[in-house]
């Protein structure tokens, strides 16, 4: 997201963050869950992020839930 100015601008606008405050916001609890939630709201962005990160979109959602205070649910083969 940070490498694409239009996507970063959209994230900042939706989150209410200013560019100069993003580093401080990143240190706050819940920030990463919010970023992952943002990714989950745009399927194309989610799939692109997941592919670059080498994970599945479902794993991104699991991480979001965990960071938001949920529990990790392992898939049973």
Tell me the pLDDT tens digit for each residue of 24-49.
Answer: 998 988 889 889 999 999 999 999 99
Q: What is the pLDDT of residue 47?
A: 95
What does pTM read for this prediction?
A: 0.75
Model confidence band, residue 58 (pLDDT cutoffs 50, 70, 90)? very high
8-state DSSP, 75: P
| Parent domain of 22 | 5-67
User: Is 75 contained in some domain?
Assistant: no
Average confidence (pLDDT) over 44-61? 94
Instruction: Tell whether the model's pLDDT for residue 72 goes beyond 60.
Output: no
Number of domains in the chain: 1
User: Is 17 contained in some domain?
Assistant: yes
C-alpha distance from residue 43 to each of 2, 28, 40, 69 (Å): 17, 26, 6, 23
User: Is 77 contained in some domain?
Assistant: no
Q: What is the pLDDT of residue 73?
A: 59
């Amino acid at each position: 997201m940070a490498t694409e100015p239009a996507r970063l601008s959209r994230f900042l606008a939706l989150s209410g963050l200013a560019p100069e405050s993003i580093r401080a916001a990143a240190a706050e609890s819940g920030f990463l869950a919010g970023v992952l939630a943002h990714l989950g709201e745009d399927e194309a962005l989610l799939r692109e992020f997941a592919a670059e990160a080498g994970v599945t979109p479902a794993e991104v959602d699991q991480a979001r839930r965990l960071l938001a205070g949920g529990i990790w649910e392992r898939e049973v083969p």
